[in-house]
Amino acid sequence: MRASLQYFHWAFGVTALGLVLAFWLGWEMGGGLGPALRFLMIAAVLAVLEISLSFDNAIVNANKLETMTPVWQRRFLTWGILIAVFGMRILFPLLIVVVAAHIGPLEALRLAATQPADYAHIIEGAHIGIAGFGGAFLMMVALNYFIDEGKEIDWIAALERRLRACASIRGLEVALVLALALAFAFVLPPQDSHRFLFAVVAGLLTFLGVEVLGQVLDRADMAGRAAQGGLGAFLYLEVLDASFSFDGVIGAFALTQNLFLIAIGLGIGAMYVRSMTLMLVERQTLSEFRYLEHGAFWSILLLAVIMFAQTLWHIPEVITGLIGAALIGMALLSSLRVRTA
């Protein structure tokens, strides 16, 4: 237990600092103990939300990091967390407002600080595009894992064997994503379906572009050993983390419209994801629990479908988090049964 806790020292420190900042922010903006305690509670809930939504992200990160060189592992766990916290939890919501409202970054920051309700309204208006892009990218990540003839271990055998058997069909993953996207676009109102389909195509192109770029960079770096890559794998993980963050960032606005409080809460959660990733890599947990990454990728696939579905219905983030946690929990139990058998 103590050996596991050592991976979370930084996360504990950031938690303490973040909660103090949240309390101070509530005190300054609300002018009293009541608002300060409310901000403190919201920051804690946001951190838990981020952890529950991103646990599968930590497993996928660990799976990829195990194939990377030690230098690039360290770079991802240092530079990557800075990009994850400051880029996706602060700059990304600002960028959405800059693009959607056609205003400058400083004006977007002023809007977030002085008119949080208007800021949140702009974010919500961009939800369809975010759901299309993030859902398409994450669906490609999951399908690329299951539709792979080199995959040797199956958890949900009846489904995974059939998917693996289809690996020889070129472009099947893209076809499945586009078919599902067209089904949702058919139901959406015309003004929304165009934005949704554009975002889906952008998500597909981003996934394929990162894959191509990663292979080119890795081949140049490692003499053809693409799986051992550096910069390409780093970029892949950063885009993957960004896609996972979409759901948490948008869902956070259901709890608060304060950008700075959102950044504090989600930033705390991101530190725990980083610590879990480090623990999974260094202790080789994935090799000990053979079905854990299967549960993570099934969780990713369902998350992608949920993101598509959120263009039509409101699905509470707590349901998304519970589904992911349940799948990973079942995969963990299955792994334990195999170990004790």
Cα–Cα distance for residue pair 227/220, rounded to 1 Å:
12
pLDDT confidence bin for 60, thresholds 50/70/90: confident
Check residue 227 and give its pLDDT: 42
In this structure, of 144-148, 203-207, 232-236, 261-265, the range with the lowest mean pLDDT score is 232-236
Check residue 197 and give its pLDDT: 94
Cα–Cα distance for residue pair 147/160, rounded to 1 Å:
8
Check residue 182 and give its pLDDT: 95
Check residue 244 and give its pLDDT: 66
Q: Is the pLDDT of residue 316 over 80?
A: no
Token representation of residue 158: 């009846």
Cα–Cα distance for residue pair 255/252, rounded to 1 Å:
5
Residue range 95-138, pLDDT digits in tens: 777 776 677 888 888 887 777 777 777 777 778 888 888 889 88
Check residue 23 and give its pLDDT: 92
Environment class of 285 (CB within 10 Å of its CB; exposed 0-12, middle 13-18, buried 19+): middle
Token representation of residue 280: 């999974």
What total number of domains does the chain contain? 1
Q: Is the pLDDT of residue 8 over 90?
A: no
CB within 8 Å of 114: residues ≥ 6 apart: none
Closest CA to 60 of 144, 173, 147, 154: 144
Radius of gyration of the chain (CA): 20
Closest CA to 62 of 278, 228, 235: 278
Cα–Cα distance for residue pair 47/319, rounded to 1 Å:
16
Q: How many helices (H) and strands (E) does the chain have?
A: 17, 0
- Judge contact between 89 and 265, C-beta under 8 A: no
Token representation of residue 269: 């959660």
Q: Average model confidence (pLDDT) for the chain?
A: 79
Instruction: Look up the domain containing 37 and give its range.
Output: 2-340
Alpha-carbon distances, residue 329 vs 41, 155, 296 (angstroms)? 27, 13, 10
The 3 state secondary structure assigned to 162-213 is: HHHHCCCCCCHHHHHHHHHHHHHHHHCCHHHHHHHHHHHHHHHHHHHHHHHH
Check residue 229 and give its pLDDT: 52
- Judge contact between 254 and 317, C-beta under 8 A: yes
Q: Is the pLDDT of residue 238 over 60?
A: yes
Check residue 135 and give its pLDDT: 87
- Counted residue by residue, the chain has a size of 341
Report the pLDDT averaged over residues 193-197.
Answer: 92
Q: DSSP string of 259-271?
A: HHHHHHHHHHHHH
In this structure, of 20-34, 159-173, 234-248, 254-268, the range with the lowest mean pLDDT score is 234-248
By three-state DSSP, how is residue 28 classified? helix
Residue range 136-194, pLDDT digits in tens: 988 998 898 899 888 888 898 888 889 888 888 888 999 999 999 999 999 999 889 99
Q: Is the pLDDT of residue 224 over 50?
A: no
